[in-house]
Amino acid sequence: MPAIITHHLFGEEAARRLPGEPSYDGEELLAFLLGNQGPNPYCFCFTATPATIQTAHRLSELMHADKEAEALLLARDAVSHLPVGDQAVGHAFVLGLLAHYLLDSEAHAFIVAQERAICDADAELEGAHDQVHALIESELDTWTLWSARHQTIADAPAQANLARTERIGRVAGTILSQVAWQAFGLTISPDRYEGCLRDCELIYRAIDPTGNPYGRMIAGAERLGARYSLLDALSHAAAPTEDCPAANLDCHPWHDPLTGEGRAASFADVLHDALGRWPALAEAFTRGEQEALRGLMRRGYDGTPLEPTPQEADEGVR
C-alpha cells in the first residue's frame, strides 16, 4: 500500500474531483484527508496495554484484508447514527476511507512487484519483505511530495498529514469502532483511534528525516531483534527526488504478481488511473448503490482481484 504522504496528496486531488458536491473546505476537508489514511494509524499503536495494541494492529490488518465493501458500507451507515451536527464531518471522513481503499487497491500490485523482484535478487533479503516494501513506499512518498509540491520532508513533515480537530478525531474513532465490532467482531474504544494518531505522530517525529540521531538510535534498538529495521525503512529522506527508480518513470515492463498480467505503468500512471476511477466509485458509494459499488471494487486492498458476486458471475456466463 502507499504510505502517509502519497495517501494525503492523492486525497487532495480526489477532494477536488468529488462528483455532484461542492469542494470540501475547512473541517470537512481535514476529515476527508484524514480518512485517506484509512486504518493505517492503528498499525502505529504502542502507548496502550498489550491487549489493546494487539487489537489495534489486528483491526488494521483485517480492514486491509477482508470484507472490503462490507466494512466501507458499514462505515457509511454509521454516519446516520451520529448526532446531526457531526454527520457532515463523518460523511467526509468515510469518503476519505473509500479513497484510501481505491489507492491501495490500484497501487499495491505495483509496489509488490518491485518488492518481490528485489528480495528474489538478493538472498540476504529473505525474510525482509516488509522492510523492502516500506522502503519502496517511503521513496514513492518522497518523490510524490517533490513532484506535486516541490517540497521535501523538511518543508512538509509526514505527521502534518494527520491534522484534525477534536471533533474529527472523536467522530472518526466512533465510526471505526463501530466497523470493528460489526464487521470483524473486535472491541476497541472509540478514543483509541485518537491515541493511535498520536502514536503515529510521535513515531514520524522520531524517525524523520532518515538518518537523524533519534532515528538511528531507534533503528539500532530494532536491529537487536531483527536484521533490518522497519522503522528505518519507513523514514523519509529530506532531499529533492527528481529521479526515483521506485516510480518506474521510464515505464520499464513488469508483471502484476497478483494477476500475471504484463504491464509497463509508472507510479504516475497508477495515480492517474486511480483518480480516473474515483468519481464513479465515490458517486456509487454516496448514493448507497451497493451492487454498483461492488462492481466497481475490482480488487482488494492488497491488489488481489475480487471474486464476482454470484449475480455478476451468472450475467458473465450469459
Along the 318 residues of the chain, how does pLDDT read in single tens digits? 689 999 999 999 999 998 876 567 799 999 999 999 999 999 999 999 999 999 999 999 999 998 999 999 999 999 999 999 999 999 999 999 999 999 999 999 999 999 999 999 999 998 899 999 999 999 999 999 999 999 999 999 999 999 999 999 999 999 999 999 999 999 999 999 999 999 999 999 999 999 999 999 999 999 998 889 999 999 999 988 888 999 999 999 999 999 999 999 999 999 999 999 999 999 999 999 999 999 999 999 999 998 764 444 454 433
Q: What is the pLDDT of residue 317?
A: 38
Number of domains in the chain: 1
Q: What is the pLDDT of residue 315?
A: 47
pLDDT of residue 22: 59
The pTM (predicted TM-score) of the whole model is: 0.94
Residue 255 three-state SS: strand
Determine the Cα–Cα distance for residues 114 and 248; give it in Å rounded to an integer. 10
| Rounded-to-integer distance, Cα 300 and Cα 67, Å | 9
Answer for the pair 43, 105: CB distance below 8 angstroms, yes or no.
no
**Domain that includes residue 107, residue range:** 4-317
CA distance 314 to 318: 6
Amino acid identity for residue 206 in this structure:
A
